[in-house]
Amino acid sequence: MNSSEDPATRPLSGKGGLPMLEVVNGQAKALISLYGGQVLSWVPRGEEEVLFLSERSHFTAGQPIRGGVPICWPWFGPHPADPAKPMHGFARLMTWRLTSSATLPSGASRIELMLTESPETLALWPQPFRLLLHIDVGSHLRIALTMVNSGPEPLATTSALHSYFRLGKAGQVHITGLDDTFYIDTLQQDLYTLQRGKLQVDQEINRIYLDTASLCMIHDPLLERQIVVKKEGSRSTVVWNPWSERSRGMADLGPDEYQYMVCIEAGNVRQDGRTLAPGASHTLVTEFAVIH
């Protein structure tokens, strides 16, 4: 079923003229940018916005959109050999193709997007691939990225679903689900540290939690809600907030916006990177729900 046949999904021209999809059903509404294959908004019925999107986000081809759920692929962070190549890979800088949209038996809407190699991607990373993105918009938001090696050589990748969550006020929020988990603190020369208890969001954070498949929960007293963040196909979780000093140098983030966001990312990062044999695939999933 294509989008014109699915009453819950409507194509539109978004900010900057970027192609987008609006999804509205009985359970939730969402906004998805085909540029980047990126969910920008998700509002379950009766709830407030769950995802953070910066008021200063670029909506320009060649620039990433700051917020929602960007797709970091085929590398996470800087390119391992060439820092001039795009940060977090190229998937979030390409326009994806809508391949189907349908209503699931549950009443949720499923959107399928696809990205394959092109002259543009081959100039950055000379390997054929196929990415399939399934986005289920309902009382839960589920995003599943399937990476397929369609070439004749092994395909080594790191990746993340770089989810930004909207907060009432960062300093009053804490995260559970990572207690007794070792993490790499990238702000401390990659120091290995053990998480003790809940994680407070009250300073700059850039951590890669290792060997964990656990769900996380954001406890937000101001918005009187908890956001449950589950994942599949991942043994690494990234938590990030740039805080005040670093955000001042970010043109696409307002000076105070760090107070209203935190990123919890389902990843295949560092030693959790995946190498796919020819014809093999791997699926990375993140799923969100709001509880009270």
pLDDT in tens, 66-106: 999 999 999 999 998 999 999 999 999 999 999 999 999 99
Q: How many CB atoms lie within 10 A of CB 178?
A: 22
- Out of 2.70.98.10, 2.60.120.10, 2.40.50.140, 2.60.120.200, the CATH code matching 3-291 is 2.70.98.10
Whole-number Cα distances in Å, 277 to 61, 72, 116, 144, 232: 32, 20, 17, 20, 20
pLDDT tens digit string along 116-139? 999 999 999 999 999 999 999 999
Predicted local confidence at residue 159, as pLDDT: 98
pLDDT tens digits, one per residue of 139-153: 999 999 999 999 999
3-state SS of the chain: helix, strand, coil percent to 5?
Answer: 10, 45, 45
At residue 230, what is the residue type?
A: K
In the three-class reduction of DSSP (H, G, I as helix; E, B as strand; rest coil), residue 68 is classed as coil
Residue 5: per-residue pLDDT: 57
Q: What is the pLDDT of residues 167-216, one digit of tens each?
A: 999 999 999 999 999 999 999 999 999 999 999 999 999 999 999 999 99
Where do runs of H (alpha helix) occur along the chain? 119-124, 243-247
Active site residue 265: yes
Cα gap 196→194, rounded to integer Å: 6
pLDDT digits (tens, 9 = 90+) for 209-244: 999 999 999 999 999 999 999 999 999 999 999 999
Q: Are 69 and 143 in contact (CB under 8 A)?
A: yes
DSSP 13: E
What DSSP character marks residue 165?
E
For the stretch 44-60, pLDDT in tens is 999 999 999 999 999 99
**Is residue 186 within 8 Å of 206, Cβ to Cβ?**
yes
Alpha-carbon gap, residue 49 to 166, rounded angstroms: 7
| Mean pLDDT score of the chain | 96
What is the band of 271 on the pLDDT scale with cuts at 50, 70, 90? Answer: very high
Q: What's phi and psi for 260, nearest 5 deg?
A: -120, 25
**Distance between CA atoms of residues 205 and 212, nearest Å:** 18
Q: Are 243 and 167 in contact (CB under 8 A)?
A: no
Ordered alpha helix ranges (H), 87-206: 119-124
pLDDT of residue 136: 98
Catalytic residue among 88, 140, 257, 265: 265
> The tokens of 31 are what?
């906004």
Query: Per the residue annotation, which of 162, 257, 282, 287 is the catalytic one?
Result: 162
pLDDT at 2 over 60: no
Q: For this structure, is 282 an active site residue?
A: no
Tokens for 279, please give them: 């014809």
Give the domain ranges of the chain.
3-291
Q: What is the pTM of this model?
A: 0.97
Q: How high is the pLDDT of residue 6?
A: 75
